C-alpha cells in the first residue's frame, strides 16, 4: 500500500472528520435531536415551537456557507483560507445545531479562526470593521466554541495543491497542448473553490479524489492520462490487480463527481445569489428565529456567563476555609468579595 495513503490516514482530517454517508446522516440526526431536547423545556408544554428538521438544518448551513464565501471574497482572503474557514464552519454544524448557535455569528468566527489556523494574522478589529454591526467581541465570543466543535483539528487538507501537481504532470506529458491543460486547470480550480465546500465532498473523499473529480468534470481524457488503464512499464503480472484497483478508484471519483455536479460554480450566481433564493430562505430563517435556543443565541453574553461561572466556582469555597485558617485578616476582604458575587448576579438570573 502506498505510504502516502498511510500518511493521509494519520491526518486529523481522516481520523476525525471523514465519514460514510450513513454515519454522517446519523450524526446530523443525533445533533438535531439533542438540540430539540434541550430547547424544548424552555417553552411551555402547550406552546412548543416547530423545530427545524435535519434536512432543513443542512439547507441552512449550505446557505450560510455561501454567505461565508461571499464575506471572504469581500475581505479579500486567499482561496485556501476561505476554504479552511468554510470547512471549519461545516464541521462545526455536524455536532452542533443551527438552532443552538447562530450561524450568522459562527460564520464570522470561522473566517477569523480560519485565518489564524492558516497563520494569516489579520487583526481582529480590522475584520470586525468589514462587517456591519459587528464588534471584535462578537467575533471572538464564538472562538473557543468553534475550536471545541471542530475537535481541535486545525489542519485542513485542500485539493488545490493536488491540482497544481496534476497540472505539472500533464504539462510534462502533453507539451503540445498547453492551451488545453491551462483551460482545464482554470476550470477545475473554479470548481474546487466552490463545489466541495457546498457539498459533503470533504467528509467523504480525499483531496486527490476531489481534485480528480473536478478534472473529470472538465476533461475526462486528462484523468485517463493520469490514471492509466494499464500500469506503466508493467510486464502483465500485476495487470489484474491494477485493473481492479483502477476500477475502484474510478468509481469513487465518479461518485465524487456526481456530488460536485450538484453544486457547480455557476450555481453561486444562477442560484444562491438570486432574489428568489433569498426569498425562499425566509420561511426557514423565520422558523429558526422561533425555535432557536434563546439562551445561547447571544454568544457574547453566553461567553461572559461561562467565564463568570468558571471563576465563581473556583472562588466560592475560599471565604470559609481562608477565614477558618487565617481569621479576621481575611474576613476583612469579604465584603469586596460579596460585592463581586453580587455583580455576577447581573448575568446570572436573566439568562
Q: Contact with other proteins (CB under 8 A): which of 47, 152, 240, 320?
A: 152
Q: Which is nearer to other proteins, 74 or 230 (CB)?
A: 74
6 binds other proteins (CB under 8 A): yes
Total residues interacting with other proteins, rule: CB under 8 A: 63
335 binds other proteins (CB under 8 A): no
CA distances from 167 to 120, 180, 189, 343 (A): 27, 11, 11, 62
Closest CA to 272 of 74, 81, 280, 75: 280
Dig out the grid coordinates for 333 from the structure. Answer: 476582604
Quote the least distance from Cβ 55 to other proteins, whole Å: 17
Within 286-315, the residues that bind other proteins by CB under 8 A are: 293, 295-296, 302, 305-307, 309-311, 313-314
Burial category of 56 from C-beta neighbours within 10 Å (exposed 0-12, middle 13-18, buried 19 and up): middle
Q: Contact with other proteins (CB under 8 A): which of 65, 83, 100, 199?
A: 100
30 binds other proteins (CB under 8 A): yes
Within 125-144, the residues that bind other proteins by CB under 8 A are: 140, 143-144
Q: Which is nearer to other proteins, 62 or 79 (CB)?
A: 79
Give CA 162 to chain center in angstroms. 21
340 binds other proteins (CB under 8 A): no
Closest CA to 13 of 107, 97, 117: 117
Q: Which is nearer to other proteins, 313 or 336 (CB)?
A: 313
Using CB under 8 A as the criterion, what x/- string covers residues 57-86 for binding other proteins?
------------------------------
Residues 6+ apart with CB under 8 A from 70: 273
Within 105-124, the residues that bind other proteins by CB under 8 A are: 112-113, 116-117, 119-124
Quote the least distance from Cβ 313 to other proteins, whole Å: 7
Dig out the grid coordinates for 122 from the structure. Answer: 489579520
Hey, CA dihedral for 181, 184, 190, 191, is it positive or negative? Answer: negative
> Which position has the grid cell 475581505?
75
Phi, psi of 9 (to 5 degrees): -65, -15
Task: Find out whether 153 and 16 touch, Cβ atoms under 8 Å.
Answer: yes
Q: Contact with other proteins (CB under 8 A): which of 95, 134, 135, 344?
A: 95
Burial category of 7 from C-beta neighbours within 10 Å (exposed 0-12, middle 13-18, buried 19 and up): exposed
Dig out the grid coordinates for 57 from the structure. Answer: 438544518
Task: Find out whether 84 and 114 touch, Cβ atoms under 8 Å.
Answer: yes
Q: With CB under 8 A as the contact rule, which of the stretches 145-153, 196-204, 272-280, 328-336 interacts with other proteins? A: 145-153
Residue ranges that bind other proteins, judged by CB under 8 A: 3, 6-7, 10-12, 15-16, 18-19, 23, 26-27, 30-31, 34-35, 37-38, 41-42, 44, 92, 95-97, 100, 112-113, 116-117, 119-124, 140, 143-144, 147-149, 151-155, 161, 293, 295-296, 302, 305-307, 309-311, 313-314, 348, 351
Amino acid at each position: 500500500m502506498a505510504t502516502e495513503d498511510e500518511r493521509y490516514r494519520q491526518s486529523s482530517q481522516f481520523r476525525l472528520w471523514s465519514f460514510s454517508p450513513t454515519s454522517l446522516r446519523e450524526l446530523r440526526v443525533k445533533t438535531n435531536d439533542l438540540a430539540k431536547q434541550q430547547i424544548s423545556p424552555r417553552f411551555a408544554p402547550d406552546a412548543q415551537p416547530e423545530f427545524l428538521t435535519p434536512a432543513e438544518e443542512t439547507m441552512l448551513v449550505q446557505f450560510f456557507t455561501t454567505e461565508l464565501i461571499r464575506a471572504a471574497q469581500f475581505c479579500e482572503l486567499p482561496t485556501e483560507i476561505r476554504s479552511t474557514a468554510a470547512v471549519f464552519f461545516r464541521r462545526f454544524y455536524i455536532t452542533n445545531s443551527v438552532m443552538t448557535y447562530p450561524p450568522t455569528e459562527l460564520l464570522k468566527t470561522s473566517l477569523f479562526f480560519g485565518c489564524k489556523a492558516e497563520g494569516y494574522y489579520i487583526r481582529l478589529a480590522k475584520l470586525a470593521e468589514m462587517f456591519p454591526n459587528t464588534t471584535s467581541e462578537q467575533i471572538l465570543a464564538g472562538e473557543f466554541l468553534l475550536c471545541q466543535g471542530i475537535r481541535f483539528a486545525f489542519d485542513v487538507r485542500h485539493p488545490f495543491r493536488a491540482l497544481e501537481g496534476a497540472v505539472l504532470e500533464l504539462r510534462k506529458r502533453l507539451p503540445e497542448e498547453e492551451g488545453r491543460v491551462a483551460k482545464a486547470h482554470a476550470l477545475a480550480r473554479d470548481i474546487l473553490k466552490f463545489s466541495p465546500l457546498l457539498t459533503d465532498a470533504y467528509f467523504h473523499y480525499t483531496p486527490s479524489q476531489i481534485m480528480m473529480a473536478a478534472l473529470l468534470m472538465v476533461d475526462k481524457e486528462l484523468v485517463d492520462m493520469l490514471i492509466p488503464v494499464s500500469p506503466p512499464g508493467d510486464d502483465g503480472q500485476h495487470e489484474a490487480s491494477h485493473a481492479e484497483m483502477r476500477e475502484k478508484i474510478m468509481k469513487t471519483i465518479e461518485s465524487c463527481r456526481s456530488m460536485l455536479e450538484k453544486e457547480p460554480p455557476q450555481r453561486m450566481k444562477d442560484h444562491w445569489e438570486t432574489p428568489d433564493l433569498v426569498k425562499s430562505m425566509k420561511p426557514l430563517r423565520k422558523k429558526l428565529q422561533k425555535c432557536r435556543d434563546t439562551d445561547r443565541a447571544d454568544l457574547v453574553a453566553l461567553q461572559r456567563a461561562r467565564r463568570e461561572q468558571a471563576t465563581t466556582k473556583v472562588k466560592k469555597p475560599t471565604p470559609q476555609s481562608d477565614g477558618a485558617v487565617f481569621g479576621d485578616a481575611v474576613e476583612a476582604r469579604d465584603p469586596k468579595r460579596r460585592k463581586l458575587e453580587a455583580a455576577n448576579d447581573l448575568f446570572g438570573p436573566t439568562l
